Structure 1
Amino acid sequence: MRRYGKNPDEDDVRVRPNPKGNRPRSSNRPKHEDAAEGMVLTVDRGRLTVLVGDREVTAVKARELGRKSAVVGDRVAVVGDLSGAKDTLARVVRVEERSSALRRTADDTDPFERVVVANADQLAVVTALADPEPRPRLIDRCLVAAYDAGLDPLLVLTKSDLASPEPLLETYGMLDLAYVVTRKEDLEAGEIDAIRDRLSGRVTAFVGHSGVGKTTLVNSLVERQRLTGVVNAVTGRGRHTTVSALALPLPDDAGWVIDTPGVRSFGLAHIDPSRVIHAFPDLEPGTAGCPRACSHDEPDCALDAWVAEGHAEPARLDSLRRLLSTRDRKEGD
């Protein structure tokens, strides 16, 4: 404020008192070197269940993580109350580097991708052979997402007591996919050694359309049971109760399975088509002669000559092109 008859100086500047003292704010964050290591089992409305040792601890994301989030399968650092007792809360202060990340978008026009599962090494694509009918386009999309994330795909066909698996297996024959065929009677009797062998020693994420028997299969594999849904006996209506992903250990420390909610669609807006070719080692060398940014489905694509010279089977190239074009087609086409 100017004083009349006097030129203003520094004494005329009003300074707001600092009730917290004059110590400058530090940008250094605590390193939490004594934090415990854990694995995220599930995430529900901002609360994370983290396995720390042999205890399941409820935790929230610490403020210093900012916008970075933790998902099922993440390895995290946790501080606070790690007793696992009721009404106690810990904090996730660090998310460790991921070995893999299965991603999806809401649809093919949505630029926002989200991580569904972290640190899995296998993706089990579960589909029923009948009731409901198989959806090959959805299977294709899940396969593309698996190849992009570096996960080994496993095709799990359920309800083989209602329909033969041969037509669907023939469709994917040239992809050299690992697969398992199950029957309802086998699951009820606990005869699941074939699929258990495929899961041993691995972290496997299960994806599939609602109603294909995915959670029923998971229940048969693990000691801990998940709800499979309640259907109204009068109207026949109901909904699948798997509403959030959940990591569950296989008996005898044989591996992990991650049950995910049933999906109606699997958006691939985040997928770089150039990465899908890595899943076709017999075709990938042939791309050396392709034009820049080749879609592998155009007149100048070098893969046609590569296959014509006998380096790979024509059906393999057809499979690649079908998967690459799945972004341009609706899942019901």
Structure 2
Amino acid sequence: MKGGRRHLDEDDVRVRARGGSRPRTRIRPKHEDAREGFVTAVDRGRYRCLVEGRAVVAMKARELGRGSIVVGDRVALVGDLSGRPDTLARVVRVEERDSVLRRTADDTDPVERVIVANADQLAIVCSLADPEPRPRFIDRCLVAAFDAGLDPLLCLTKADLADPGELLRTYAGLDLPYVVTSRTGDLGGLRERLAERCSVLVGYSGVGKSTLVNLLVPDADRSVGDVNPVTGRGRHTSTSAVALPFEDGWIIDTPGLRSFGLAHVSADDVVAGFPDLDEAVADCPPGCTHTEDAPGCALDAGRAEGRLDAERVASLRRLLGSREDERQST
């Protein structure tokens, strides 16, 4: 030591281990004792699951990484499964999904958003008035149902305000199952259509989706809102998806949607989602885009001859055109 100071050596240097001092391993625990559960709701990183008839709140185990867990997932859980207040279990495994319903924010958004898993029926809820029906939204949902392998069901609400005939004629060639309901409480056979199925209900805001759920499942207590008299748009009353047990099946209510992007669906699959037009495009020239300016497109001939519904052709072309326009603008 010289001048009150001494030379430093490696023993004087403290190095903090990166990522902790515990050795890492790729071997993950198997959790053979895990119990099966069904995810009924997701809220800020907490998962409400039904386990052997009990409602259990769980968090995701760290070893699962960044993968998403959504309503409808079948999962394996460990930890405190009593369901008592202030207890927390862990989701340690997500079982293979039978189906996945996805959407994107718009037709160019590369990020897919999984809405629900393991549903087998998509109930497309559309009001006949207040707000006005949106056939283009219905068409998008039908394409999404085709892509996910779900059976579509058209559910028309507020029949006491408007006649469903015109809208039903638009889809007459699809053999699309439908029910017509009213605000008087007439469910038009909807209960029978949903029994023993896992059905996800989708619709734009204000169509009466939460009202239907409250009629079907009185204990659901889903919030109900009014339609804005200026914009004609409904207020978002359901803020998150929730699965409700219903007659040996499930009803999954989802928040009202303003759009249903289909960036994750190829153009060919979009066309396949229009089964009344799919056969006609087989006569199109190779590489046909099926849009309004596509030379030799068979949709033009079919429409001119009256074999194809002009509104359906316009809807398909609008959908394909919007995807192409948005891609070119990005």
Give the TM-score, by structure 1 length.
Answer: 0.80
- Please list every run of 5 or more consecutive structure 2 residues that lacks an aligned counterpart in the other structure: 1-9, 324-330
Aligned-partner Cα distance in 1 for 2:161–2:310: 32
**Residues 92, 319 of structure 1: CA spacing in aligned structure 2 closer, same or farther, 3 A cutoff?**
same
What is the CA–CA distance in structure 1 between the aligned matches of 2:215 and 2:322, rounded to whole Å?
35
Which position in structure 2 is the counterpart of 1:226? Answer: 221
Q: 1:325 to 1:32 in 2, by over 3 A?
A: farther
Tell me if structure 2 keeps the 8 A contact 1:107–1:268. yes
Q: Distance in 2 between matches of 1:30 and 1:294?
A: 52
**Matched residue, 2:74:** 75
Using the TM superposition, give the Cα deviation of residue 141 of structure 1 relative to its aligned residue in structure 2, in angstroms.
1.5
Aligned residue among 224, 240, 258 for 1:244: 240
Write out per-residue CA displacement over residues 201-225 of structure 1, whole angstroms, 9 at most, x where no aligned residue. 2111101111111010011112422
Q: Contact between 1:39 and 1:75, CA under 8 Å: does it hold in 2?
A: yes
Match status 1:270 vs 2:264? yes
Aligned pairs, number: 306
- Give the Cα separation in 2 of the matches to 1:74 and 1:263: 21
- Give the partner amino acid of 2:270: V
Could you say if the C-alpha distance between residues 184 and 286 of structure 1 is closer, same or farther in structure 2, counting changes exceeding 3 Å? Answer: closer
3-state SS, counterpart of residue 55 of structure 2: strand
Aligned residue in 2 for 1:60: 59
Provide the C-alpha distance between the structure 1 equivalents of 2:139 and 2:275, rounded to a whole number of angstroms. Answer: 18
Q: Shift in Å at residue 26 of structure 1?
A: 2.5
Paired residue type of 2:214: N
- SS of match in other structure, 2:92: strand
1:147 matched residue in structure 2: 146
2:25 alignment partner, SS class: coil
Does structure 1 retain, via aligned residues, the 8 Å contact 2:122–2:150?
A: yes
Secondary structure of 1:261's aligned partner: coil
Change (3 A) 1:324 1:100: farther
- Distance, in Å, in 1 between the alignment partners of 2:153 and 2:240 is 21
SS, match of residue 189 in structure 2: helix
Q: Does residue 108 of structure 2 align to residue 109 of structure 1?
A: yes
Deviation, structure 1 residue 138: 1.5
State the SS of the aligned residue for 1:215.
helix
Counterpart residue number, 1:119: 118
- Report the CA distance between 1:177 and its aligned residue: 1.1
One-letter code aligned to 1:42: A
* Equivalent position of 2:205 in the other structure: 210
SS of the aligned residue for 2:27 comes to coil
Q: Deviations over 1:157-203 (max 9, x none)?
A: 11111110011111122222111001111x2xxx4361111112211
Shift, 1:293, TM fit: 5.0
> Aligned ranges for residues 292-303 of structure 1 at < 5 Å?
294-297=288-291, 298-300=294-296
Quote the residue 1:35 is aligned against.
34
Q: Alpha-carbon deviations, 1:110-159, whole Å to 9, x = none?
A: 21111001111111111111111111222222122111111111111111
Separation in structure 2 between the aligned mates of residue 293 and residue 82 of structure 1, nearest angstrom? 56
Q: Does 1:256 align with 2:255?
A: no
Deviation at 1:314, TM superposition (A): 2.6
Other structure's SS at 1:256 match: strand
Cα 1:23/1:46, change in 2 over 3 Å: closer
Rate the CA distance shift 1:282–1:263 in 2: closer, same or farther, 3 A.
closer
Corresponding residue for 2:4? none
SS of the equivalent of 2:124 reads strand
Verify the 8 A CA contact 2:57 2:83 in the aligned structure 1: yes
Q: Distance in 2 between matches of 1:227 and 1:33?
A: 37
d(CA) in 1 for partners of 2:33, 2:286: 50
Distance 1:111 1:325 in 2: 20
- The secondary structure found in structure 2 opposite 1:103 is strand
Secondary structure of the corresponding residue to residue 28 of structure 2 = coil
* Percent pairwise identity: 60
Q: Equivalents in 1 of 2:155, 2:234: separation in Å?
A: 24
| SS of equivalent to 1:58 | strand
The answer for the alignment partner of 2:327 in structure 1 is none
1:174 corresponds in structure 2 to 173
2:243 aligned partner, one-letter code: A
Q: Over residues 230-252 of structure 1, what are the superposed CA-to-partner deviations in whole Å (9 max), with x where a residue is unaligned?
A: 669xx9x994331000001113x
Q: Which residue in 1 is equivalent to 2:316?
A: 323
Match of 1:201 in 2: 196
Residues 277, 308 of structure 2: 8 Å contact kept: no
Paired residues of 1:61 and 1:69 also in contact (CA < 8 A):
no
Instruction: State the TM-score, normalizing by the size of structure 2.
Output: 0.81
